[in-house]
Structure 1
């Protein structure tokens, strides 16, 4: 049995589901390109308290990436899931990029990494300094052999006075790139300081600027990752992307239908233009770090021409993802690390900057319940033992449970 805890302290029980029977792919996934935005594991005995430099358990952190590769997914690293701007300092970020790129080469996996301006400690920069900061990280990423994801910059959001400022910065940075980059549009649910990014708080106006930046720099952009948690906005932009530019969904609320597209007509999805050549999104999701085997199995079902199985496998995970990413959404990393611990990928439920304290026991209990229901617990008995131990340590009485 699996014991759960409600918000008012009541303990209930549900049946513990059996271990999932998902198989690792025997070759590359074909129907979709999918990246799991991975987290970092701290040294258990390190001083990973707020404000301290991150002490990363490199063995556990990199082993997690090897696990993602073994399921056929790529890794998106050093992005917001890895606690950029929420505990992962500049030195740790550089080391993560270098080490992760090396693991990708060894494993034959695909890795993309975040490029930002966050290594500059000054709060306010000129537009020219923003460009220089972006270029510094971009060139380092290219030297490591990783694919660049140009993340939204807090520095740029602070200094930009118009859409033209965004056009200028992106134009100059993209002209410096030696390989095509992915542009990341991160919504305010993930980072409130990015309000008005691309020159407007109205996604329709901001998307025009984004599309103009792509059109003005042909061949420089390989994809767009949209993280607005708004499926209609993603479909609207997706249908207008130039040929050769992928849409990577970052919508952890609505990914099932967005990834399914026209291949799974019965999936819940926003209205789309049937004449468009863009009938589905690829994926770059923090949620896929929490449920990598499930995501792999679902895409394998699409590869096999079985959309009903895709929906049956991935559909139940969306409620789990919505719980992990519940408001305040920027604390979703806590749920990702929590499931990593339950699934045996790290020795303790800890995070850099002490962020493991960002969610309540009842919130975590709901994650346990939904993960159990959607077959996201890779080793159910281990997960139950760890969860029950956490409850007991928190003073919750669960009679009859010994481990």
Structure 2
């Protein structure tokens, strides 16, 4: 989840919690205040009833018990009880049900005792709590509506604000991390922002990229030096050995030793060239402006390997159906496919099969190269692209750099590679070209 949505979600949840707490507190407070308000009114009604009490009114209450108002919201009840010379002046409150006109109502009831003309009476004054319950229902609905509106407004406002706030951050990530393929072309221009943290991030990335650029230039210089300082002496020594082999007075033993030394030098030269190629590819020192037709490259490779296919009597199944073209470096794409197909021939059994097929899935082109060769163990598949990692075979010319070169070129061209293999049952390379 993006930081923007996490911030908005956090703010929304905290505000919901505050609103819920406030709503619950409001409901409890209103209920308490309403009950207290009713009790104060009941107290005033009790004082007024006792103050205005007369014999006729008491007789009337005793005859028509209880006396409800027209809306059944209040009632007053007076009934005689056992005489007490000094009844306690205590007031009790309770909530109880009363049936009025066959309807059950809930009342808040005040109870007290008083003496009038040497008689003790129980006075009850009740007030319906229906209005309080209605008020609580209204407040609940109102709180729910406020919560939903507040949630929507909070989420929208937080998303808008966090998007505005984090816009410089995403610009920094996009311009200075995601879109950086070549440190030499890094954009050091600062992203405009008033947030100090983002300015610090911008400066830190630029500083780090400056160090990477310096190291990159040093590596390029090192590669150039290696190319000159190692390959030139090797070429000179190779030439001298070749000239020595042309002498007629050499013994057969000396000739064999010179030939072995020359072969070792050529092997060293090939290793150095392979390592230099990997380094140059990984440092983006090649152009990717060629229009490369995959079928043409495959045709060239098959022609180059035709003799080896015939020597091992390998049956080639060319099932290419599509004319797919990519923009890249043609020599590198040729090297990539050549190394894979060459391995499929090298590690295949005599009279085996080699199948090259393709398919299009959406906007992706998928090329599959399948052989019926020796295959690989799962641990060998994991290390297949490591440098100097070789399969156990009789091939003496293998340096264990072919698939390392393949991986570097594939990454350079944004090509995905998948290997499926079983020991003794062959290997399948799947290359996915992303358009």
Would you tell me which structure has more helix in proportion to its own residues? Answer: 2
Does the TM-score normalized on the shorter chain lie above 0.5?
A: no
TM-score (norm 1): 0.20
Would you tell me which structure has more strand in proportion to its own residues? Answer: 2
The structure with the larger Rg is: 2
TM-score (norm 2): 0.19
